[in-house]
């Protein structure tokens, strides 16, 4: 099951985090579909019906596009079938936020999009899941372990979530190439490997619904789920179908060469995710702050108090436009360089370090 996610990267950062290699071996940075970057809003607490970033083949929008060209789009969570006859999608009487991999070919809401090759990859920092207890439910944040190297490499360390910082420290250079150059080259090739937060890549299907009386088409998606992996079974019996690494993402999206039945073989329970308990603040979808995903001590009965750093992080997220965030140059930030020196001496955990970086970015504005 997947009923809540977090995706906190700015639009240009999402694009950089999705760098891939095409069939010639060239590294490419997917562009956002026209206007879709403005529809996406970073959030610590995304619920169904919200707009989320998804990766898919450009051929869905341009039949002449190369078979392996990817594009980013903003789609609404909760699939609305193309055949739905009402003018208001909220009148659907059943949930399509998740679809079970076992019977995806049995329900026409998912079968038709799958047969047409409408496969997508939902992107997120991670997802939330609730573990049933005697009197309440304990939420957990679940995500890819943050290992060294490219965010698209297969996971090598499935254990301690504190093995690397949200923004990896490069001890050899004061300003890594991926930070110094953010835009595509004229040929569309990506400038440098992304070494920031490795986004969780979840398999999904999408559809395009147009109101019967006319209007703008609505793109929506459903997250495909599988049986929970061994290390997550104690939290919940289901989990999103995770695509691990660039090759699995490529095969899932390449509907021209990888047929549906072969693509479905990628949907397996993978024992590769890590997790930590978080505050019950995430229970309310209106709460959207860093405290939602910060680790908590289950041995303490007190809720974590908001910190000055996390408050500034939230202000920075809500008040800073994506363009300003893209234009910021980490090479010129004294605070960032001081933070890098500090993290070389002692690691305080991936999520905590990320919040510190964002806090210091705010102070440089």
One-letter-per-residue 3-state SS of 91-133: HCCCCCCEEEHHHCCCCHHHHHHHHCCCEEEEEECEEEEEEEC
Within 10 Å of residue 321's Cβ, how many Cβ atoms? 9
Q: Is the CB of residue 268 less than 8 Å from the CB of residue 226?
A: yes
Residues near 273 by Cβ (< 8 Å), separated by ≥ 6? 142, 143, 144, 145, 158, 200, 229, 231, 232, 239, 242
CA distance 202 to 302: 33
CA distance 282 to 293: 8
CA distance 76 to 93: 17
Q: Is the CB of residue 242 less than 8 Å from the CB of residue 204?
A: no
Instruction: Give the count of alpha carbons within 13 A of 35, CB side only.
Output: 1
Residues near 186 by Cβ (< 8 Å), separated by ≥ 6? none
Give the containing element (helix H, strand E) for 218: strand 218-227
Active-site amino acid positions: 2, 129
| Cα–Cα nearest to 146, from 134, 136, 156 | 156
> Alpha helix (H) ranges present in the chain?
11-17, 36-39, 108-115, 177-180, 246-253, 260-264, 308-319, 322-327, 334-345, 350-364
| DSSP-assigned letter for residue 290 | G
């Amino acid at each position: 099951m997947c009923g809540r996610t977090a995706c906190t990267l700015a639009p240009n950062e999402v694009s950089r985090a999705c760098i891939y290699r095409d069939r010639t071996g060239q590294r490419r940075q997917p562009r956002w579909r026209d206007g879709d970057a403005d529809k996406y809003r970073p959030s610590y607490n995304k619920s169904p019906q919200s707009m989320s970033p998804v990766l898919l083949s450009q051929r869905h929008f341009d039949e002449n596009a190369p078979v392996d060209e990817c594009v980013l789009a903003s789609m609404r969570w909760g699939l609305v079938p193309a055949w739905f006859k009402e003018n208001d999608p909220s009148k659907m009487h059943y949930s399509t936020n998740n679809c079970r991999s076992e019977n995806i070919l049995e329900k026409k809401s998912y079968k038709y999009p799958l047969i047409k090759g409408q496969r997508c990859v939902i992107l997120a920092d991670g997802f939330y899941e609730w573990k049933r207890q005697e009197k309440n439910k304990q939420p957990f944040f679940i995500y890819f372990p943050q290992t060294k190297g490219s965010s698209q490499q297969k996971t090598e360390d499935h254990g301690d979530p504190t093995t690397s910082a949200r923004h990896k420290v490069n001890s050899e250079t004061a300003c890594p190439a991926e930070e110094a150059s953010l835009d595509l080259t004229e040929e569309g090739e990506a400038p440098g490997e992304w070494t920031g937060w490795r986004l969780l890549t979840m398999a999904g299907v999408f559809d395009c619904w147009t109101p019967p009386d006319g209007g703008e088409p609505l793109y929506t998606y459903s997250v495909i789920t599988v049986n929970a992996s061994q290390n997550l079974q104690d939290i919940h019996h289901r989990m999103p179908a995770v695509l691990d690494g660039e090759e699995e993402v490529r095969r899932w999206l390449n509907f021209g060469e990888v047929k549906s039945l072969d693509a479905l073989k990628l949907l397996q329970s993978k024992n590769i995710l890590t997790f930590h308990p978080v505050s019950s603040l995430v229970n309310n979808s209106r709460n959207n702050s860093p405290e939602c995903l910060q680790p908590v001590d289950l041995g303490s009965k007190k809720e974590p108090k908001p910190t000055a750093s996390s408050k500034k992080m939230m202000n920075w997220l809500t008040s800073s436009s994506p363009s300003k965030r893209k234009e910021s140059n980490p090479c010129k930030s004294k605070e960032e360089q001081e933070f890098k020196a500090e993290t070389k001496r002692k690691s305080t955990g991936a999520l905590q370090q990320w919040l510190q970086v964002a806090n210091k970015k705010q102070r440089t504005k």
